[in-house]
Amino acid sequence: MQDWADLDYFLCFPSFCRSLISPPRIRRVKCDEARPACNRCASTGRKCDGYVTPPTGAYSWSQLLSARPPPTESAPDAELRQLAFFRRNVAPSLSGVLDSYFWTHLVPQFSHQQPAARHAMLAISSLYEKFLEDPLDRSAEKNAFAVTHYNEAIKHLRTTTNQEAVLFVCILFVCIEMLRNRCQTAIEHCRHGINILNDVKTKSNITKDYLEPAFCRLGIFPYFFGVRPETFPAVASPCRVPTPPFHSLLEVQEALDPLLVRTIRFIRMADEYRLGDETCPRPDAATMQERGEIDGLLDAWLGELQAFKERKRIQKCKLMAMREELVERLLESKWLVGKIWIDTCFSRGEAVYDLHMDKFRSIIELARESEAILRAMWTKFPRAKFTFEMGFVPQLAFVLVKCRSLSLRTTAMGLLKALAHEKESCWDLATVTTLAVQVIGFEHGLQLGPDDDMADMVDDGTLPPEERRIKDSALQDDRRVVSSTDGTGILWRKVALLLREPEGPVTVKEEWVSVPLRPKP
């Protein structure tokens, strides 16, 4: 069997990766990059030299971007089956409640022109199908079909100079590694993709409209999994960040994403002070000014969201209206977390979070409303086990570890289990709930097992004392799996809990926690 390939393929792509647009030589009118011909050159009667003649057998841009791509050539039955499974089951699910156009349209269309994209799509389809079947083989070491096509995708990518293909397939590789439960490898794919994107001098419309926003959004999740801002790139000055007034929910989302990236990078930089001792220097005036700017931008975004909701008058079908209501609540819950982050990032005590109980309640209320909407939607569409995009898991997990009201934590846990997919991006639901139970049990002095129902806990209104509050936590690499013949199993993970003694330094408490693996259906 072939081995899963490593990241060395990225070394084959120099920073001067060329796109389908070659440097203009003869024409004096700037090419507008319209397809299939430059409108400016055509309107003035000039010959446009900006386009490379496509090779024989290549699809035209009008074909590639059509709603229904050209028919698939003859392929083995296993591939045809996985292509059909991807279009029918995988693509509509990967974006969660967000717009799925990238997966339902662009990926199938692009795969007809780029072999690397086709092989990556086949690997994703197979991994997604196996993800539903076997919780003990998330790494898919036994999935020969996925291994073969992942390696074929890398092989084709090594020979291309098309920057769009490299960036496009890089996103697919991130998805592959998320499905394989290889979070750090997914982060490395994301890192290389952003670096390549930042080196691109001339960006096509597809890069600006789809790839750049995708990498901007992907630039958020690594900071939840140990990445530091000084070692991880950000998308440099996204070209098309919408400016208010917003005319669509997509514009609202694309205005929030870079703001959240800036926010989480800032708070990760603030961790040095928040988790440091008394010798750590206080933030300087420039740092505090940047914090104020981010806080103001977050407030301005919320104002524009509210204005957009008030202006919305267009009648849409019920299902579309339901989806938009979900997205609005999802975005607002992300905004609330961002506000709490920026307001608390320089506090060394955990009691500061008690001042934000109203925001924690708002996150829970938004999640409760979303759960009611989703319950109605799931009667028509099955609930996905895996989504490429992050949904409500990060926000509800934040409530579970930072809100010290036991009643709110109990409600958040119930909503997390009701709302979350089994895996969202690199967030594994079973691991998140296990870690949250560990934190809550320690802080409130409760003996909680993985199968205990927190709804049975009685809240007397008492908040944990500062010395019992966990400042931070981190899953360690140490793990072991105990499996049984019936397909069930337990994953043991080591977790480091960070606490601060009164007027003392941060101490580390290490414990093993058990993560139940669901049985095969």
Question: Which pLDDT score is estimated for 61?
Answer: 36
Show the CA angle centred on residue 319, arms to residues 104 and 418, nearest 5°. 85
Question: Which pLDDT score is estimated for 237?
Answer: 73
Query: Quick check: 498 pLDDT over 60?
Result: yes
Sign of CA dihedral 298, 300, 304, 307: positive
What are the pLDDT digits (tens) for 35-86? 444 554 544 445 454 434 434 333 343 443 444 444 455 568 899 999 999 9
CA end-to-end span of the chain: 27
List the alpha helices (DSSP H) in 86-227: 91-94, 101, 107-111, 115-131, 144-157, 163-179, 183-199, 205-206, 212-218
What are the pLDDT digits (tens) for 449-489? 766 777 778 888 899 999 999 999 988 888 888 876 666 77
Question: Which pLDDT score is estimated for 425?
Answer: 96
CA distance 112 to 52: 19
CA distance 53 to 161: 15
Query: Worst-scoring range by mean pLDDT, 61-65, 68-72, 119-123, 512-516?
Result: 61-65
Of the chain, the percentage scoring pLDDT greater than 70 comes to 80
Question: Which pLDDT score is estimated for 142?
Answer: 76
Contact 369, 333 (CB under 8 A): no
Query: Worst-scoring range by mean pLDDT, 27-41, 399-413, 446-460?
Result: 27-41
Residue 12's Cβ-side half-sphere holds a number of Cα atoms within 13 Å equal to: 14
**E strand residue ranges, 415-471:** 423-424, 427-428
- Highest mean pLDDT among 64-78, 112-126, 228-242, 303-317 belongs to 112-126
| Polymer length in residues for the chain | 521
Q: Which amino acid is at 200?
A: V
CA distance 262 to 242: 16
pLDDT category, 137, cuts 50, 70, 90? low
CA distance 416 to 444: 20
Question: Which pLDDT score is estimated for 15?
Answer: 31
What are the pLDDT digits (tens) for 98-111? 989 999 999 999 99
pLDDT category, 96, cuts 50, 70, 90? very high
**Mean pLDDT across the stretch 283-287?**
97
Question: Which pLDDT score is estimated for 22?
Answer: 30
Q: State the pairing for strand pair 472-483/506-517.
A: unpaired
What are the pLDDT digits (tens) for 367-397? 999 999 988 887 767 788 999 999 999 999 9
Question: Which pLDDT score is estimated for 72?
Answer: 52
CA distance 47 to 29: 10
Of the chain, the percentage scoring pLDDT greater than 90 comes to 61
CA distance 205 to 35: 10
Indicate the helix (H) or strand (E) that contains 81: helix 77-85
pTM for the complete prediction?
0.83
Residue 415's nearest CA partner among 452, 361, 471 is 361
Q: State the pairing for strand pair 472-483/489-500.
A: antiparallel
Convert 362-383 to b/e letters by CB count within 10 Å (16 or more is b). Answer: bbbebbbebbebbeeeeeeeee
Contact 167, 207 (CB under 8 A): yes
pLDDT category, 8, cuts 50, 70, 90? very low
What are the pLDDT digits (tens) for 224-243? 999 999 999 999 876 678 88
Which tokens in the block code for residue 126? 């197979």
Question: Which pLDDT score is estimated for 339?
Answer: 98
**Mean pLDDT across the stretch 214-231?**
96
Question: Which pLDDT score is estimated for 319?
Answer: 59
Query: Worst-scoring range by mean pLDDT, 12-16, 353-357, 443-447?
Result: 12-16
Which residues, other chains included, contact 176 with Cβ-Cβ below 8 Å and sequence gap of 6+?
120, 123, 124, 127, 146, 150
Question: Which pLDDT score is estimated for 480?
Answer: 86
CA distance 223 to 265: 7
Query: Worst-scoring range by mean pLDDT, 167-171, 220-224, 284-288, 377-381?
Result: 377-381
Query: Quick check: 324 pLDDT over 80?
Result: yes
Using only C-alpha atoms, the chain has a radius of gyration, in whole angstroms, of 24
CA distance 12 to 231: 22
Query: Quick check: 157 pLDDT over 70?
Result: yes
**Mean pLDDT across the stretch 124-130?**
94
* Mean model confidence pLDDT for the chain: 84
CA distance 44 to 40: 6
Asked, as a colleague might, if the bond just before 245 is cis with ω within 30 of 0, I would say yes
Q: Which amino acid is at 400?
A: L
Compute CA 487 distance to the chain's CA centroid, rounded to the nearest angstrom. 29
What are the pLDDT digits (tens) for 239-272? 678 889 998 999 999 999 999 999 999 999 999 9
Residue 367's nearest CA partner among 399, 407, 340 is 399
The CB density around residue 16, as the number of other CB atoms within 10 Å, is 10
CA distance 188 to 172: 13
